[in-house]
Homo-oligomer: A and B are copies of this chain.
Amino acid sequence: MARSHSTTGRHPHRQARDEDTVSTAERIIAATLQLLSSRCLHAISIRDIASAAHVNSALISYHFKNKENLYNTVVASQFQAYQQQVVSAFSTEGDIRKTICTVCHLIASFHHSNPCMLILYFRELTNPSPAYKTIIQPCIKEASDKCVAMIKAGIQAGVIAPATNPRHVTLSLVGMVNYFFMTRQIMQDLALEPANNVNEYIDFVCQTILKSIVVE
């Protein structure tokens, strides 16, 4: 983790120094994430990161000790953001039809703003680092459990057909949305819709899921 701490506000000088520290650490994280979007970790050197972040290599060691720690921080920041911005919306309250649409659009807008998350995720699935067990597995477990609870609440409320398999719904919903972002590059390269029409496609996904599971 970054060694930066929250400011106390008591010492203006220390506050200024801490803010510099935060922004340096964040700049290093952002540059690493950018480099990871097209290369795997072992193809990236501390020198590459320093150059991309416009910092001295020594500052990377100061903030993150080594490349593996920095990588862990990058993965953790992406999956924590996913939990906060997306998984927290997997709710058992309210109209399940509305919740499912909200969730689909939230997943889409998260990947739109964080295009590296799925790249890191799938690299970890085929070539796991220690982050796979400590960061990724717990996040996916929580996301899956909460999505299943959400579908079960819909069954309990009599809105979703009782024979519905909540894991099938979870997997198909996430699959339809995530696959869009994973293949967006080739859709754009081949000029295939809906590359540039994500909202229309996500509306189709919501309707498809709801038609499949809502009691008629």
Residues of A whose CB lies within 8 Å of any CB of B are 37-40, 42-43, 119, 122, 125-127, 136-137, 140-141, 144, 165, 167-168, 171-172, 174-180, 182-183, 185-187, 189-190, 192-194, 200-201, 204-205, 207-209, 211-212
Contacts and interface: CB of A to CB of B under 8 A. Distances in A.
Contact of A127 (B38, B127, B171, B208): B38
Nearest to A168: B204
Contact of A207 (B186, B187, B212): B212
Nearest to A38: B127
A193 to B, nearest CB: 5
A167 B185 contact: no
Contacts of A127: 38-39
A165 B37 contact: no
Contact of A190 (B141, B183, B212): B141
Contacts of A42: 43
18 contacts: A40-B43, A122-B122, A122-B182, A125-B186, A140-B186, A165-B204, A167-B192, A171-B179, A171-B180, A171-B201, A172-B204, A172-B205, A175-B176, A175-B179, A176-B176, A179-B179, A208-B208, A208-B211
Nearest to A42: B43
Contact of A189 (B137, B174, B185, B187): B137
A215 B42 CA distance: 52
A124 B177 CA distance: 20
A141 B178 CA distance: 20
A-B complex: 5 closest residue pairs judged by Cβ atoms: A175-B179, A208-B212, A168-B204, A172-B176, A175-B176
Contacts of A175: 175-180, 183
Given A40-B40, A40-B43, 15 more contacts: A43-B43, A125-B185, A126-B185, A167-B194, A171-B183, A171-B187, A171-B194, A171-B201, A172-B205, A172-B208, A175-B179, A175-B183, A178-B179, A179-B179, A211-B211
